[in-house]
Amino acid sequence: MSKFAVSLLLIVCALYVCNAKKGRYTNEWVVQVREGSDTADDIARRHGFRNLGKIGNLKDHFRFVLQSEVSGLHTSSKSEAISQEEQVVKAEQQIVRKRVKKGYMVPGDSKWTKQWSLKNTGQTNGPSGLDLNVEKAWLQGITGEGVIVGVVDDG
């Protein structure tokens, strides 16, 4: 194998490892367009995407899918090209991130008395009773098992 081929292989592997640490990139982008869905359709078509439509109630945000697979790698050239469009506010390739389930505190936990959001007794000099009332839920047999909670934070 030539030195060039070995160098090229090392560069490709390094790029893959760097991207893998951050998460696996998808072939989908979120694109914010100033002028609505007709403009979004045109931009998507010009850059080899298909506009899957508006994202929920987000104003002027659209979901674009790249017509060709990107194999989990970051495709910055596509993001840069779309971002050059005058009507585009921003374009961001989506990443699949691994989420790790965290454990929860139970009353037998040594830190239970510090969990004011679960049972507020005034331990932080605030008004007692302003908490999530989890003990009442637990007494009813509600543990959260099988419940999926989604949090959307725009900041």
For residues 26-39, average pLDDT: 87
Given this model, what pLDDT does residue 85 score?
A: 92
Cα-based torsion angle of the residue sequence 8, 13, 14, 17 in order, rounded to the nearest 10 degrees: 170
User: Is 58:123 a contact under the CB 8 Å cutoff?
Assistant: no
- What is the model's pLDDT at position 43? 94
Q: How far is CA 153 from the centre of its chain?
A: 10
Token pair for 155: 């900041």
pLDDT higher than 80, residue 107: no
Helix (H) or strand (E) holding 147, with range, is: none
User: What mean pLDDT comes out for the span 124-134?
Assistant: 84
Query: Residue 24 carries which side chain, given as an amino acid letter?
Result: R
Please tell me the predicted confidence (pLDDT) of residue 84.
92
More confident residue, 114 or 16: 114
Sign of CA dihedral 75, 153, 33, 68: positive
pLDDT digits (tens, 9 = 90+) for 56-103: 888 899 999 988 765 556 677 888 889 999 999 999 998 887 766 555
41's enclosing H/E stretch is: helix 37-46
Which segment of 29-33, 62-66, 67-71, 106-110 scores lowest on mean pLDDT? 67-71
User: Which of 69, 30, 33 lies closest to 48 in space, CA to CA?
Assistant: 69
pLDDT at 20: 47
Is 138 strand, coil or helix? helix
pTM for this entry: 0.51
Distances (CA, A) of 129 to 34, 73, 84, 121: 46, 49, 53, 6
Given a contact cutoff of 8 angstroms between Cβ atoms, the answer to whether 33 and 86 are in contact is: no
